[in-house]
């Protein structure tokens, strides 16, 4: 209900004045980060058509504001898989936070906890999941996994996550092979990994060449086993009672299969447009997926979210929560934990303002008839 300690107000006024929207963090981080790191974080697959489309698609949806409603107090709290969070804006799993800031995923975890929202820890984390728990024992966190060729690694990650207090397992399902990332190849050659000497995949180092710190010795962990099938979901359910979320669903057909396999949630995602180019923007397929399975499981979305109105549109189209990836990395690069807090704060405040201006005081007031497309608006 907007009753919270605002971490943004503790920052230097001059610093805050330089970052008034999420694009400001992206611009500044492009200047701060080494080229290799910037290319790794920012680039997409192929010609990057889907990378651009993820953001451009939001602009095709227009809001239909309602007036003369009491919006003096806005409540943005919600639950994800039964866990209460203060806003429907959460953090997607992204690899290698240690490249953006020395504190890496620890800083991100602390920021998410202080903002009372959820973080998904990437399987490609440069911080161990046990250290994440030690940093914020009671924070809302889920663990990302792949179906690796060595299923022992998958099983062990799940068990460690359970012990460490993670509340759900997120299976990234859209990477049986690494997408064609041309900008990566131009910078890195055949290696797609930008880790610096001494950096490790902390949650997977047990399964890598212990005689070397090189991430190239762990390339097999950058993707799933391409023999994985829906049977692996059934296998996963035999080893954990934690809720299972499938990340990387883009079609109604796969959403229905997810529901039939009794997972608890899906994330509509195209992997930040890093896998297959020429696929739809996630916001464009969200509503049809929600219509097909929204009464059977929770549906989240990521990809291209940069403003509070983007969040509002996604919620109106049926998402229970939105997840952000690159903006978190950009905030981390600019000012560590405080930078991530600022990114989350800006989105929260923009969402609050957008809710007020469309006549919504609670998330349940945000309905499908709040949005239309430009073409439909012109016919009204």
Catalytic amino acids? Answer: 271
- 266 has which bridge partners? 246, 299
> What secondary structure does DSSP assign to 216-285, as a single string?
GGGGGGGS--TT--THHHHHHHTT--S-EEEEEE-SHHHHHHHHHTT-SEEEE--GGGTS-SS---HHHH
Answer for the pair 80, 298: CB distance below 8 angstroms, yes or no: yes
Q: Which of 343, 283, 348, 293 is nearest to 62 (CA)?
A: 283
At 103, phi and psi to the nearest 5? Answer: -80, -10
> CB neighbours of 218 closer than 8 A, spacing ≥ 6?
201, 204, 205, 207, 208, 209
CA distances from 298 to 58, 65, 141, 362 (A): 21, 26, 17, 19
d(CA 166, CA 322): 19
At 183, phi and psi to the nearest 5? Answer: -65, -35
d(CA 228, CA 187): 31
141-145 and 119-121 as β-strands: parallel, antiparallel, unpaired?
Answer: parallel
The token pair that represents 125 in the structure block: 């984390």
> What secondary structure does DSSP assign to 60-76, as a single string?
GEEE----S---SS-B-
């Amino acid at each position: 209900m907007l009753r919270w300690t605002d971490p943004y107000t503790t920052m230097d006024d001059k610093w805050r004045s330089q970052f008034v929207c999420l694009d400001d963090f992206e611009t500044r981080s492009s200047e701060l980060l080494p080229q290799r790191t910037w290319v790794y974080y920012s680039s997409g697959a192929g010609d990057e058509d889907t990378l651009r489309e993820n953001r451009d698609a939001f602009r095709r949806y227009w809001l239909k504001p309602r007036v003369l409603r009491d919006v003096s107090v806005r409540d943005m709290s919600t639950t994800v898989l039964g866990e209460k969070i203060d806003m429907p804006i959460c953090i997607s799993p992204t690899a290698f936070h240690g490249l953006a800031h020395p504190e890496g995923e620890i800083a991100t975890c602390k920021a998410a906890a202080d903002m009372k929202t959820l973080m998904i820890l990437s399987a490609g984390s440069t911080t161990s999941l046990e250290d994440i728990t030690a940093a914020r024992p009671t924070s809302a966190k889920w663990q990302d996994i792949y179906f690796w060729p060595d299923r022992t690694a998958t099983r062990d990650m799940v068990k460690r996550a359970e012990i460490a207090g993670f509340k759900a397992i997120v299976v990234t399902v859209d990477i049986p092979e690494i997408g064609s990332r041309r900008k990566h190849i131009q910078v890195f050659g055949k290696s797609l990994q930008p880790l610096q000497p001494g950096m490790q995949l902390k949650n997977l180092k047990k399964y890598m060449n212990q005689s070397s710190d090189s991430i190239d010795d762990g390339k097999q962990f950058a993707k799933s086993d391409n023999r994985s099938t829906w049977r692996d979901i059934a296998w996963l359910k035999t080893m954990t009672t934690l809720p299972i979320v499938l990340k990387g669903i883009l079609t109604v057909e796969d959403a229905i299969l997810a529901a039939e396999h009794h997972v608890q949630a899906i994330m509509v995602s195209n992997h930040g447009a890093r896998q297959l180019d020429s696929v739809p923007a996630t916001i464009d397929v969200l509503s049809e997926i929600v219509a097909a399975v929204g009464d059977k499981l929770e549906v989240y979305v990521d990809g291209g979210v940069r403003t509070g109105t983007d969040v509002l549109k996604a919620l109106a189209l049926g998402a229970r929560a939105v997840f952000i990836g690159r903006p978190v990395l950009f905030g981390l690069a600019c000012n560590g934990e405080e930078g991530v807090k600022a990114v989350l704060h800006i989105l929260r405040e923009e969402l609050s303002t957008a809710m007020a201006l469309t006549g919504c005081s609670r998330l349940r007031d945000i309905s499908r008839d709040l949005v239309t497309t430009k073409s439909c608006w012109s016919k009204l």
